[in-house]
Amino acid sequence: MEDLSVLDHLKSEGFEDIEIVEKLEGEHNYNYIFKSERGKFVLRKSKEHLDEEQRLRSERNVLKFLEHQGIKFIPRSVSYDNERDIHITTFVGSENTSLGKLSQKELENWVSNLSKIHSLNYEEFKGFCEERNYSYREPETVGQKIEEIRERLAEAESTDKELVEWAEEKLGELNYSIELDEPRLTHHDIHNSTRKSQNNLFVIDWEFAGFSYYPLEDLADILIDENLKKEQVELVIDQYKSLSTIEITESVLTNNKKLKLLFQLSWSLVEISKPRKNGESSEKYHNYARERKEKFNSIQN
């Protein structure tokens, strides 16, 4: 998207005295950080215009629901343009914050907020969306997640047959017992999504969020990659157990980790086969896939 087009859109949304501070390109979106007379905001534009999953629209719906529920550690949704597939949110900081660098009090606060999100009711979300004519996705089951991984592995078979066959074998061994009796709101991409601003914590990038029957994937995600010390891991698990109605056992958490790692591995294998801009190498995706396998093999059964 051209800067001029961004400025035109912001003016049409009622922003004045606009200054684009930074342009960032993620895997799925273009992000423009801008200032105006109303404050500092982020304009998010999907790379695939009106992609069939409608991730930015879904992000708006989830953020509006979370705000309605009184959740504080999120950016606020300011506007969503369906025609242009643009979502504008409040700016909450641009630097990632590792959970391993948080104080004990901050980490406890972070886990407390995660447990609140995982306690939210699907029927209430459904009613919230229907009242506002928002679209919403049905809760995802573990079986659907596994089928998605299988489809990705089949698509990626030509990239690394040995790795694909290994992943298919491990996928067949996964235990479906990690599924809950009722769906809970799940971020689905929570690692590397924490921001800290003026002593406040925020979780961003809610485009993949939705209700699922395996919300502990979020907990597994941060335990896999946030480089927490042993005492911090114990704090996170104990704090979550004390606040959440979701039962956590070591085997359930282990299977959630394995599910997450196989999902990430299958994603990276598919990315290898995609054409790269300006001759960019796909090796980083291959390295990431190998790293996921190593982490998987390091998990205690």
Are 104 and 223 within one domain? yes
In single-letter form, the type of residue at position 101 comes to: K
- Among residues 197, 244, 198, the alpha carbon closest in space to that of 218 is found at 244
| Domain limits for position 272 | 99-298
Mean pLDDT, residues 202-211 taken together: 96
CB atoms near residue 101 (< 10 Å): 12
The larger pLDDT score, comparing residue 227 to residue 187, is at: 187
Are 122 and 153 within one domain? yes
Highest mean pLDDT among 118-132, 154-168, 270-284: 118-132
pTM of the model: 0.93
Write down the pLDDT at residue 6: 86
Q: Give dist(CA 292, CA 225) in Å, integer.
A: 10
Are 48 and 171 within one domain? no
User: Could you give the number of structural domains in the chain?
Assistant: 2
Q: Are strands 194-197 and 86-90 parallel, antiparallel or unpaired?
A: unpaired
Are 27 and 121 within one domain? no
Are 170 and 70 within one domain? no
Write down the pLDDT at residue 280: 73
Write down the pLDDT at residue 278: 66
Are 145 and 27 within one domain? no
Are 23 and 132 within one domain? no
The larger pLDDT score, comparing residue 27 to residue 35, is at: 35
The tokens describing 287, both together, are 């390295």
The tokens describing 110, both together, are 């972070």
pLDDT above 90 coverage of the chain, percent: 76
Are 103 and 208 within one domain? yes
Mean pLDDT, residues 174-202 taken together: 91
- Residue 170, pLDDT > 90, answer yes
pLDDT above 70 coverage of the chain, percent: 95
Mean pLDDT, residues 29-54 taken together: 84
Q: Give dist(CA 239, CA 102) in Å, integer.
A: 15
Are 83 and 105 within one domain? no
The tokens describing 122, both together, are 């699907």
Mean pLDDT, residues 226-236 taken together: 95
**Quick one: which H or E segment has residue 24?**
strand 19-25
Are 84 and 105 within one domain? no
Q: Judge whether 163 and 285 are in contact, CB under 8 Å.
A: no
Q: Give dist(CA 249, CA 22) in Å, integer.
A: 43
| 254-298 tens-digit pLDDT | 999 999 999 999 999 999 887 767 667 788 899 999 999 999 999
- Residue 240, pLDDT > 90, answer yes
Q: Give dist(CA 296, CA 106) in Å, integer.
A: 29
Write down the pLDDT at residue 21: 92
Categorize the per-residue pLDDT at 5 as very low, low, confident or very high, splitting at 50, 70 and 90: confident
The larger pLDDT score, comparing residue 150 to residue 276, is at: 150
